[in-house]
Amino acid sequence: MSILKTDPSLGFHMDGFWVWCGSVLKHSDGYHMFASRWSKKHPMFEGYIFTSEIVRAYSPDPLGPYLFQETVLPTGNPADWNGRMAHNPAIRKYGDRFLLYYIASSYEETDPFTLPDYSDLQDKVYRKIRIGLAIADSPLGPWRHLPAPVLEPVPGSWDSMIVTNPAPCVLPDGRIYLYYRSNTPEGLRIGLAVANSPEGPYMRIQDEPVMKGISVEDPFVWHNGENFEMLAKDMEGTLTGEVHAGAYFLSRDGIHWQVQGKAYSRSITYEDGRSVTLGSLERPQPLFGTDCIPKCLFAAAADGPGGFMKAADTWSIAIPLRDSQG
């Protein structure tokens, strides 16, 4: 993956909000981005757990800048499993329909930030995160939210704590490979569930992660007509030589993966000549042309140093790519 210089004004920024993720598709005369946002009145991480919402932004140009259009999720009803927070959007085309995968959770408390100590509630809400799906005939909606999650943790299994970071890959035969992340004592691991249609059921392909002994998160997977390809965040730097850089993987069957090296670095160059090392560059979401080759890369960016936990600003960055792979 050959990264070009980018313009910091592109992508998706919102004054007063933390912005994360950024999944884009082309439709009609423009580009629609589904991203997460939450108010900067609250700390970055805690705010995501309690108040993240998924929004749609639009630009006539693939690199942006994108402008906010509407809020899509959560539902707003605390009684719904997806009622109070939604995050990690991943938009895909499926025939004539549009699939919006996401994670969500809920809670009854009116405002957790008024509690003397909200740490127990934060942990409870985090552990209630599930993967959901909304379906529409247009990226403008209206969205039909499936009433139950499409994927939940399995008690007693390796992924019993959480299922998050949904990465759907639509195959030519209509099957959907849904990759996801879970937390284990040995580190973050990637799992795989398969469905014959969007509504499911989504069945785990095996009772263990698809990549043993490799600590990554934020997978993005696509099928190029012959092989599966994956981008993921290298948690420890053992795959790329850089902590939290992007690792690139190949697979013939989508189950057995081989690391190919570094796809991108957190160090980028702007068109004005400045070189910066971002605190975070994760949730990679390429936008493809008609030839299955990524044309630009969207990612969640945080100013640095120190990662998103110490960020003063976050946004969905847009980075152009050369017409080449590897």
Contact call for residues 299 and 280 (beta carbons, < 8 A): no
Q: What is the pLDDT of residues 108-137, one digit of tens each?
A: 998 999 999 999 999 999 999 999 999 999
Spatial CB neighbours of 185, under 8 Å, sequence gap ≥ 6: none
Residue 57: phi and psi, rounded to 5, are -125, 160
Give residue 4's pLDDT band: very low, low, confident or very high (50, 70, 90).
confident
Q: How far apart are the first and last CA of the chain?
A: 5
Instruction: Return the pLDDT at 324.
Output: 44
Average pLDDT, the chain: 95
Query: Does position 291 have pLDDT exceeding 80, yes or no?
Result: no
Residue 322 has a pLDDT of 84
Whose tokens are 């959770």? That residue is 105
pLDDT in the model for residue 308: 87
Q: What is the pLDDT of residue 326?
A: 38
User: How far are the Cα atoms of 2, 25, 120, 307 from residue 35, in angstroms, in the given order?
Assistant: 24, 12, 27, 19
Examine the pLDDT at 246 and tell me if it is beyond 70. Answer: yes
What is residue 194's predicted lDDT score, i.e. its pLDDT? Answer: 98
List of residues 6+ apart from 98 with CB closer than 8 A: 25, 91, 92, 135, 136, 137, 138, 139
Question: CB of 22 within 8 A of CB of 283?
Answer: yes
CA distance 267 to 256: 30
Give mean pLDDT, residues 238-266: 97
Please identify, in words, the CATH class of the domain defined by 17-320. Answer: mainly beta
The predicted structure's pLDDT at residue 75? 87
Give per-residue pLDDT as tens, 26-65.
999 899 999 999 999 999 999 999 999 999 999 999 999 9
pLDDT at position 176 over 60: yes
What's the rounded mean pLDDT across residues 179-203? 97
- For the chain, what are the domain ranges? 17-320
